[in-house]
Structures are given as C-alpha cells and as structure tokens.
Amino acid sequence: MYNLVIYLYLCGVAVYSLFNEKVRKMWRGERAAFGVLKEKVDPEAKYVWFHAASLGEFEQGRPLMERLRQEHPEYKILLTFFSPSGYEVRKNYEGADIICYLPLDTPINAIRFLRLVRPVMAFFIKYEFWYNYLHILKHRHVPVYSVSSIFRPDQVFFKWYGRQYGRVLNCFTHFFVQNEMSSELLAKIGIKCVSIVGDTRFDRVLQIKAAAKELPIVEGFLSSNEERVTRNENSSTADLEEHSMERGDLVPRSSFLAPRVFVAGSSWPPDEEIFIRYFREHPEWKLIIAPHVIGEDHLQQIEKKLEGWNVTRYTKAQATNETPWKGGGGEALIIDCFGLLSSIYRYADVAYVGGGFGVGIHNLLEAAVWDVPVIFGPNNQKFQEAQGLKKSGGFEIHDYDEFAALMDRFTADADYLKTQGQHAGAFVQSLAGATEKILSSVSL
C-alpha cells in the first residue's frame, strides 16, 4: 500500500510540476540527484548522511553536522533535502561535502541511492520516516538515528490502521526525542531505544546569536531619532524618568516608558493587519518588518497599510547608501531580503513572530534568545517551544484587542517588559545541550 501511494504521488508531482515552479524545482532536483551523486561521491570515503525535509529541519541538524565535521574530519557529510525551500536556500552550505535532493522513496530509488553513497550512519531529522530507505538501511546494518523527533497521539503510528506502516520505526537504531510524551508513545508500541534530549534548535539559536551580524543600515535607522534614549539592560522606569530630567528633554514621559523598537519576523498579511493597525496609532515606535513572503505585491500591501509613515526598504537603503530617516515619528524599515532576521532581533524591544494565524508559527527561538518578549498567534499547539514560552516570556494573542492590551502594558511598565524578556532568554538557555547529549551517545 505504501509503495502504491508513493507511485501515485510521483505521478501527481510530475503533472503538477508543469504548473508550479516550486514543485518543478523539486521534480527536477530529485531526477538530477543521481547524477550529482555519481559525480561527487568518493568511493573511498566514509559518509555520514543527514536528511532534512526543509529549512527548519536543516537548522535542527546543523549543530550536529558542524560538531561532527569539527571533531571527526575522517567522515564526509552528505546532506539531502526533500523540499525546495530547504535545498534552494542551503545548496551552497559549506558544512557538507555533497548536497542534493532526496529521490522519492521508491524501492528502486532507495536501492540505487544507497548503493552509490554507502553511508556508515544516517541521521533523519524530526519527522522523516521514509519506509524503503529505512528498511534497506536496517538490512545493511547501518546505524540510523532520529534526531529532535517529536510524537503525538494523533500520528498514524499510534492508530490501528497505521500499524503496518508503524513498523518503519523499528528500523531506527535510536530515537533522540524532544519530550516525555514522545518517549511514552514509543514505549506503548514496544520501542525502547529512546532518549529524551530536547531540541537541537536551542543549540542552533545560541550559535546564531554568537555569530550575529552587525547591520549598519538597521543601526542607522534606529539611531536616527534624536529623542531616543539609549537602551540599557539595567534601566528601569525610574532610571528613564531621571535620564529625561537630567537631559532637560521636552519629551512626554510616556515616550520614555515606551519600548521603542518593534520587530515583526516572518509575518503574513493576517499578522500585519493586527500589529500595523496598532502602530498607526502609536507613531512614536520604530517598526521593522521582515515578511515571510518577499514578493512585490506583498511589499506594496505593507507599504499601503503604512501610508503616511516614512517607509524604506532595506535593499533600497543598501543600494543607495542613503539613510532617509528624519528621526520623527512613524518610521518603518521593511526587510525585503533573506538572511538578516536572526540578527535583526537583537535590536528589538518587543518581537512578533508570524504564521500563528495561518500555516503555524515560525521560529520563536531566534527572537527569544535575545532576551526579548515574543508575541505570536494562536496556531501554535504543535510547537513545543511555544508552549514553553507561554510560561516564560512568550505571549499568545487571538485578535487586535489582545495585542493592543499587551503592547499598552509593555509601554507603561518598562520593568515588566524587561523581566519578560529575561524570562524568554532564560528559557532558551535552560533547554540547550541536546547536541552534546546526542553525540555522546552515538558510536563514531
């Protein structure tokens, strides 16, 4: 039954690729993978295979790849992707020796792929359970590890009709899962080779923070306001008032109490409807928006919603080397390129992570690691980090009124803002260490 579904899926992809650019890239990439492997595989080398569905899973596997490469240079690394959103962004990643798409999981493809690569071990990230690849790996006695995996009762493995497919889980040498529930669910179907180590993304965001870029354009945007008080980690409400009096500034007290920089990352139109509405009424803020979809139509939609504000796109400021900001109220910077968001969060007083009113929230940890309170929408139940952050500096909102009430509180209470940001950062720090736990348990 599984193979029948795979072949039907293969036919569907072939047809759909005629009409969809993303699917066409995946279709062509999978077909080209064997050529890439024939050209690049060194038959004398020992390959460790990492497979990630997309970009998020890649980020979970990246700390392991980089530690392995640093500590065990005798191995070469093969990295495969299923989705173009992963491959197209990381196809030039220098931490792997070979990068390609994973050919679809038919018996013939799996046999051909593994004959070419002959991996000495394999790491499948989070949700990857490819039946034919895994059974052949087990038959060849290749150790296979599931990393940062997470299981829920509604998954097919734990349903009566999914028992046959669920046998694929017996092909893994060990599961390194994120939480206790996952371990308990696996135990119920007889799988005991499980360790609860957490999520390697916590390690990854700490790496990202340590390597964060300085962004002169963003810093120029933020420093353009002559009335802005330099933020200090130790500043309280009283400190800000005293600083105002010492300078003799004729600035309303409320403007010093307000956190002045709001960063919205990976935002979608439903997110933007909420937070832009608020800031149209609070132009004393600096607003940075890094939308998830960087297309001209979407960018123009954002600019239209901010009509009356001084709005600049990052790439325009970069190309012209100009800083058109006047330092007054109602200024926004739109990040219309990729690769900057994780560094931009460092400048936030409050962060918003999009997707929670649709597809599901994006990476909360990239913001929280900077000791910043993080706001997100209600579609977050399947995201363990969101559930943890809701107790530690993260805030779920359902509509504009909830968002406005929360922002008003942050504006009025600088100490509360600071404390919630510290809670968010501490949450990330407390759950780091999964990479070390995994590598110490793997036979290399």
CA distance 301 to 184: 47
Q: Output b/e per residue, 260-278; b: 16+ Cβ within 10 A.
A: bbbbbbbbbbebbebbbeb
The secondary element (H helix, E strand) that includes residue 427 is helix 414-430
CA distance 126 to 62: 13
Cα distances from 209 to residues 62, 197, 204, in angstroms, run: 15, 21, 9
DSSP 8-state code for residue 90: H
- Tens digit of each residue's pLDDT (9 = 90 or more) over 374-387: 999 999 998 999 99
CA distance 240 to 251: 12
- Tens digit of each residue's pLDDT (9 = 90 or more) over 352-375: 999 999 989 999 999 999 999 999
- Which one, of 314, 406, 306, 390, lies nearest residue 356 by Cα? 390
Asked if 369 contacts 206 with a C-beta cutoff of 8 angstroms, the reply is yes
Asked if 302 contacts 251 with a C-beta cutoff of 8 angstroms, the reply is no
User: What local confidence, expressed as pLDDT, does residue 10 receive?
Assistant: 75
- Low pLDDT (below 70) residues in the chain: 224-259, 322-329
User: What local confidence, expressed as pLDDT, does residue 232 receive?
Assistant: 36
Its sign, for the CA torsion 275, 279, 282, 286, is: positive
The secondary element (H helix, E strand) that includes residue 216 is helix 216-223
- Which one, of 150, 262, 165, 257, lies nearest residue 198 by Cα? 150
User: What local confidence, expressed as pLDDT, does residue 231 receive?
Assistant: 39
User: What local confidence, expressed as pLDDT, does residue 246 receive?
Assistant: 35
Asked if 316 contacts 310 with a C-beta cutoff of 8 angstroms, the reply is no
- Which one, of 330, 375, 343, lies nearest residue 357 by Cα? 375
CA distance 33 to 256: 57
CA distance 351 to 121: 39
pLDDT > 90: what percent of the chain? Answer: 72
Cα distances from 357 to residues 25, 274, 345, 348, in angstroms, run: 28, 10, 21, 22
